[in-house]
A = this chain, B = another copy of it.
Amino acid sequence: MTSLPSPSTLKVLAFDTFGTVSDWHAGVSSVLAQLFPELDSSLVARDWRRMYAPIMAEVEIGERPWTLLDDLQRETLDRLLRSKYDVVPTAEQLDVAVHSWHVLPGWPDSSAGLHRLKKKFTICALSNGNVALLNEMAKTSDFPWDFIGGSDLWRHYKPASEVYLGLVRLMQVEPSEVMMVATHVTDLAAARTFGLQTAYVSRPTEWGPETKREEPNPDDAFFVRGIDELATLLGC
């Protein structure tokens, strides 16, 4: 561990949401199973999730104007169902499927762990979801965020610098006083680039039946098996 944080210099914890605090595979595939019973809902959910990073990158490189995640998700699901599954979804089916991302179930340890961490640190969502989506998720799953850092605040998607440094600026702290917490190595690598501390949360079933390779990285201050374990290690 090359960058163990000093508790006195850690003030803000910034959490990725989709996959890190909530279980997108379970939430999305259960809704897809109701909407499209003839399809393999887990596979559709995973296919859909794979289109997420590329289309946000189109916004970041300037190929698209700023677009909310909901609208990007709607477009990718429509395209996926038509091209790979030969299904032409109705507008209402798309609405319901896109909304499933607003009310994803939390992992069993998330809410309790966040409540413990909140007593000692400022805990923020720092997500590519927008504020309204993240608020709905928080109210559904009792995520007691001190602040919701939605992508529509900065009109940028991670891993853009504006997101990480935008939160640093709003919180009036130094980058090293913020720890990014995520189950995605690219998110954490970007956060380190901008001077944040990082913690990896292992979520081996993030992709449902698909194996996810996870191993400790010495550049992360922590490698934990849940938000509750992070709370314990941070003395909460």
Contacts and interface: CB of A to CB of B under 8 A. Distances in A.
A170 to B, nearest CB: 4
Interface of A: 122, 130-132, 135, 138-139, 144-148, 150, 152-153, 169-173
Given A122-B135, A122-B139, A135-B122, A170 B144 contact: no
A147 B131 CA distance: 8
Given A146-B139, A148-B147, A153-B153, A170 B122 contact: no
Contacts of A130: 170, 172
Given A131-B170, A132-B171, A153-B153, 16 more contacts: A122-B135, A122-B139, A130-B170, A130-B172, A131-B147, A132-B170, A132-B172, A132-B173, A135-B146, A135-B147, A138-B146, A144-B144, A145-B146, A146-B148, A147-B147, A152-B170
A102 to B, nearest CB: 10
Contacts of A170: 130-132, 150, 152-153
